[in-house]
């Protein structure tokens, strides 16, 4: 198994060089950013942002979706609350990406009839469908951006997030990562929350 050889390489080559960093993390973590992104294997948050272990608190799921509070998605909700109220992160980044399968599925809901769990999950972003011109060739690209901005709207519905933003203790950003060329598109800060 390739992963086992990766672990061996980590233990013999990487860990010895980072031993001090990992020892410092024994006493706890103090990440400044909650990074919410897609589960897509083409995204590596630490590689993209050039951060070390302990610098990002990460939520990953299909479509970088932030369900509205109180919808029963306790894993996501608990992680957001922990990041904001316990870790007191200073930033939240919602990072979508090009060629997102979840957003493509959202734009073609009938194609997900045989996969009800996926269909129900991406429908949490169904409002995006009202914001995208369906006749436009670039509609998936626009839907990806609209999806990121929708997740920021959902974040602001969490009382502790809204309170931290209002107190200027927290800033929220929307990004779209284009893995095919390495570019990151920073979405309009007027549309996002700062």
Q: Nearest CA to 57 among 39, 37, 41? A: 37
Distance CA 181, CA 179 (A): 5
Instruction: Give the DSSP letter of residue 134.
Output: T
Count other C-beta atoms under 10 Å from residue 109's C-beta. 13
What 3-state class would DSSP assign to 168?
coil
Residue 37, classed as helix, strand or coil, is strand
Q: Give the SS3 label for residue 172.
A: strand
Q: Catalytic residues, which ones?
A: 38, 40, 42, 97, 100
Sign, CA dihedral 114-102-73-27, equals positive
């Amino acid at each position: 198994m390739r992963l086992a050889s990766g672990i061996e390489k980590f233990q013999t080559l990487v860990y010895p060089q980072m031993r001090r960093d990992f020892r410092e993390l024994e006493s706890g973590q103090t990440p400044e950013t909650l990074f919410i992104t897609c589960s897509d294997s083409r995204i590596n948050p630490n590689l993209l942002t050039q951060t070390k272990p302990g610098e990002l608190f990460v939520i990953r799921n299909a479509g970088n979706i932030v369900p509205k509070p109180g919808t029963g998605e306790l894993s996501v909700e608990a992680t957001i609350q922990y990041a904001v109220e316990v870790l007191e992160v200073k930033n939240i980044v919602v990072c979508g990406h090009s060629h997102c399968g979840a957003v493509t599925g959202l734009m073609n809901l009938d194609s997900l009839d045989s996969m009800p769990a996926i269909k129900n999950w991406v429908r949490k972003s169904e409002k995006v469908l009202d914001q995208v011109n369906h006749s436009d060739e670039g509609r998936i690209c626009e839907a990806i951006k609209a999806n990121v901005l929708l997740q920021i709207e959902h974040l602001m519905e969490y009382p502790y997030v809204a309170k931290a933003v209002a107190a200027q203790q927290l800033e929220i950003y929307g990004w779209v990562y284009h893995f095919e060329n390495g570019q990151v598109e920073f979405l309009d800060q007027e549309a996002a929350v700062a």
